[in-house]
Amino acid sequence: MNPSSAPLVESALDPAAAAYRQIVGAGDPWSRELRGGQILRIVDLEGNQSADTLFYDAGDPAERYSASDTIRHQAALYLTTGTRLMSTAGRPLLTIVADTCGRHDTLGGACSRESNTMRYALDRESMHACREIFIRGAQECRPELGKRDLTCNINFFMNVPVTPDGRLTFADGLSAPGRYVELRAERDVIALISNCPQLNNPCNAYNPTPIEVLIWDPR
């Protein structure tokens, strides 16, 4: 799949008919259990914000999103409409059913205080980072979840091209205000988002912004 040519697919769902709707501030966690068949939409309200996201099987959180299985299953590095998000057991957790951005990263991982220090400067160590936000959101949803339950995540709306020699590069985003990605839960899952607070990355013009999440019940 050539990610630059991935078709943009809009949704027919009406936000006014959503069963749930919530604004998530930059640097805030969000977590919720989705029932099989429910549709989750994540909206990039102001453009080029990274919504770091993890998914777990609600019945057995030890089974969770697997970046490697997802990449292998679709034979492509980037996520877009039609991508099935695979679990560590090789089963689909969710399917992307609409996408007006066209390309999402699942290689770059989540920022941490340690990586911020190594990548930017020693005085960045005290800044909030997605790993800490993930832990907070996970424990708010399921108290038994913690550091060891964090794995390779999806960075919705983030552009991380891979060079021919296999290096990751953090490039300007492809998203814009109001663009969204929509996913159908294939079974009961836990959705966990860290709305990235990254102040050091030029991808979002050093300005973290809110996202919105909406959920529709099965038709």
Q: What would the pLDDT profile of 69-97 be if each residue is shown by its tens digit?
A: 999 999 999 999 999 999 999 999 999 99
Taking a C-beta distance cutoff of 8 angstroms, is the pair 56, 87 a contact? no
pLDDT at 7: 84
Residues contacting 188, CB < 8 A, separation 6+: 33, 34, 35, 36, 57, 58, 59
Tell me, yes or no, whether 37 lies in a domain: yes
Domain that holds residue 210: 27-216
Tell whether the model's pLDDT for residue 4 goes beyond 60: no
Tell me, yes or no, whether 99 lies in a domain: yes
For residues 129 and 64, the model is more confident at 64
Mean pLDDT of 45-62: 94
pLDDT at 121: 47
Tell me, yes or no, whether 16 lies in a domain: no
Tell me, yes or no, whether 147 lies in a domain: yes
Task: Name the domain count of the chain.
Answer: 1
Chain position carrying tokens 């990751």 = 168
Tell me, yes or no, whether 1 lies in a domain: no
pLDDT at 2: 40
Residues contacting 39, CB < 8 A, separation 6+: 13, 97, 182, 183, 184, 185, 215, 216, 218
Tell me, yes or no, whether 13 lies in a domain: no
Specify the pairing of strand 20-24 against strand 179-185: unpaired
Tell me, yes or no, whether 7 lies in a domain: no
pLDDT, the chain, mean: 86
pLDDT at 159: 82
